[in-house]
Amino acid sequence: MQPRELSIQTPHLTFAAMEWGDPQGQPVIALHGWLDNAASFTPMAAKLKGIRLIAVDQAGHGLSDHRPAWFSYDVWHYVEDLVYIAESLKLERFGLLGHSMGGVVSTMAAGSVLKDQVSGLVAIDGLFPWPRNPGDAPKALADYINQRRTPADQLPVTRYRSKQQAVRARAMSQFKVSRQSSELLVDRSIIEDGEDWIWTADPRLKLGSPTRFSLEQTLAFPRQMTCPAHMVYVDSGAISDAITQYHEQLPNIHFHPMRGNHHLHMDDQVEAIADIVNSVLGRKL
């Protein structure tokens, strides 16, 4: 199934997106994870039924605009982006499908500004913004300000001698993916620069965050969601430990532990997750 390429103009940025499925199907906005792009949802797209899947390159990723030099990439700005994206698409009610950072953004939106518009949520290995120890706040702010003193065009840029070298590097990165999945992600996020290949992602995405929510604040977002909400997550690791610790405080969410790696929706559990998405976000017959 070939996607349709979209250009979504908002008051602040232009977003690139990939769209699959029946244009009259149930609209679902899909948000990828940090340093990924909309192609993250390609393996699942053909398995969705009755869904109009709109996978967006989030700001600074893939083919979408970078934020202006004076603007940050703090997570709440992604929530604001989502509001404008939905408005531009003229969607009054829609589902949300988010992976990792995209799951966090989706939960924050569904528990706050878009609560009355979100028909359902499926989050994949990401649910709420990670809290920070309050005592670390002063150093985090100082580090952030010092980092921003370096102009964006002087931040380190990784260069590759070939596209295949980039594919190998992405496959073996911190969040490993298969070679096939790596090719999907790289094709949408790399360009030629002279004799080299470089990522299209904004280098400022790797800067630290100046502040984070407290634990109570971070849990308030999923607690205040009123739509049907499901979370799929890897059954071992840091996220699994957090879910084990806090799931009893989130009775409104259905949890689905699964075996695999962080990109469950691309490599390990594509069909199983597609079944959940169809059940939660698809057209009810």
Region for residue 223 given its phi and psi (left: phi exceeds 0; alpha: psi -120 to 50; beta: otherwise):
alpha
100 flagged as catalytic: yes
**Contact assessment for residue 191 and residue 37, using Cβ atoms and an 8 Å cutoff:** no
Q: Six-digit token pair at 74?
A: 């703090």
- Residues paired with 17 in a beta bridge: 6, 56
* Residue position matching structure tokens 């695999």: 260
Of 7, 40, 72, 100, catalytic: 100
What is the set of active-site residues?
100
